[in-house]
């Protein structure tokens, strides 16, 4: 059994917002499916780190989530900045059950266990050097990350998944990185970055934490094997 991660699928099987118009995204759904089926087994876990569907309402995500349901593995869903359909956990879980989407679960204000690891995460929030950001939103996301890390308890290694990057060239999102240090996190995975930004992404060891970009186009639409 294994743990995989990928973010920013930007599925639009039920919406009129094709990603194929962007360089490198041509035929991405077919490429994603082929890579996923080649690598992921039914007993594996895949963390999807936000920006999952372009749908605006939960009921409009049906085609996108049916596609994911048809792929092997258990999927843990994290919120991204474009997941406008995201609502309360209770409503989403009830809707997934009604649709028969039994392999979809939320990673939101909680922690999940797989392969002896505690999987934690939240969307986080935008932080760029010299740019203003919403302190209230950041505070809320910090609370969610702490809730997730607390839910993991002690005794298991904590793997953290975020949508927004916590590290940048020459800068850090200090509240996020401080919390990772506080809870002894050694590996953190993030998405959100596309196109030219991929080449500027900070990856590797920073202050004792290993960071890895997992946006779909940065991975060639191939789930990344975390463990």
- Residue bearing the bigger pLDDT, 213 or 131: 213
Tokens standing for residue 138: 């950041």
Instruction: Tell me phi and psi for residue 61, to 5 degrees.
Output: -85, 0
Residue 188 has pLDDT above 90, yes or no: yes
* Average pLDDT score over residue span 47-52: 98
- 17 pLDDT band (50/70/90 cuts)? confident
pLDDT band at 133 (very low <50, low <70, confident <90, very high): low
Query: What would the mean pLDDT of 159-164 be, rounded to a whole number?
Result: 97
Burial class (CB in 10 A: 0-12, 13-18, 19+), 31: middle
Element (H, E) at 105: strand 104-106
Mean pLDDT confidence for 208-214:
97
Instruction: Identify the band that residue 130 occupies on the pLDDT scale cut at 50, 70 and 90.
Output: low
Q: What's the pLDDT tens digit per position in 79-108?
A: 999 999 999 999 999 999 999 999 999 999
Give the pLDDT confidence score for residue 131 in this predicted structure. Answer: 60
- pLDDT score, position 20: 77
Q: How far is CA 117 from CA 65, 113, 156, 157, 186, in A?
A: 26, 6, 6, 5, 12
Confidence bin at 14 (pLDDT 50/70/90): confident
Looking at residue 2, its pLDDT comes to 98
- pLDDT for the residue 62: 97
Kindly indicate the confidence band of residue 19, based on its pLDDT and cuts at 50, 70 and 90.
Answer: confident
- 151: domain range? 3-225
* pLDDT greater than 70 at residue 128: no
CA distance 5 to 67: 17
- pLDDT at site 170: 73
**Would you list the DSSP string of 146-195?**
HHHHHHH-SSSEEEEEESS-SEETTEE-HHHHHHHHHTT--EEEE----G
Tell me how many domains the chain contains: 1
Mean pLDDT, residues 207-222: 97
pTM, two decimals, is: 0.95
CATH of the domain at 140: 3.60.21.10
Backbone angles phi, psi at 189, to 5 degrees: -120, 140
**Radius of gyration of the CA atoms of the chain, in A:** 16
């Amino acid at each position: 059994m294994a743990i995989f991660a990928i973010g920013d699928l930007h599925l639009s099987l039920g919406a009129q917002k094709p990603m194929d118009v962007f360089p490198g995204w041509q035929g991405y759904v077919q490429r994603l499916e082929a890579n996923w089926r080649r690598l992921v087994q039914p007993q594996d876990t895949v963390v999807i780190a936000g920006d999952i569907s372009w749908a605006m309402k939960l009921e409009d995500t049906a085609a996108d989530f049916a596609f994911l349901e048809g792929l092997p593995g258990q999927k843990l869903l994290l919120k991204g900045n474009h997941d406008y359909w995201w609502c309360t956990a209770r409503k989403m879980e009830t809707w997934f059950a009604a649709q028969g989407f039994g392999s979809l679960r939320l990673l939101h204000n909680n922690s999940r266990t797989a392969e002896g690891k505690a999987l934690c995460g939240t969307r986080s929030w935008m932080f760029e050097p010299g740019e203003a950001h919403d302190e209230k939103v950041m505070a809320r996301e910090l609370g969610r990350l702490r809730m997730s890390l607390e839910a993991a308890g002690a005794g298991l290694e904590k793997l953290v998944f975020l949508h927004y990057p916590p590290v940048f060239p020459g800068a850090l999102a200090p509240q996020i990185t401080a919390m990772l240090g506080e809870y002894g996190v050694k590996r953190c995975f993030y998405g959100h970055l596309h196109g030219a930004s991929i080449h500027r992404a900070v990856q590797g060891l920073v202050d004792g934490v290993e960071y890895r970009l997992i946006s779909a186009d940065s991975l060639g639409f191939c789930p990344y094997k975390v463990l």
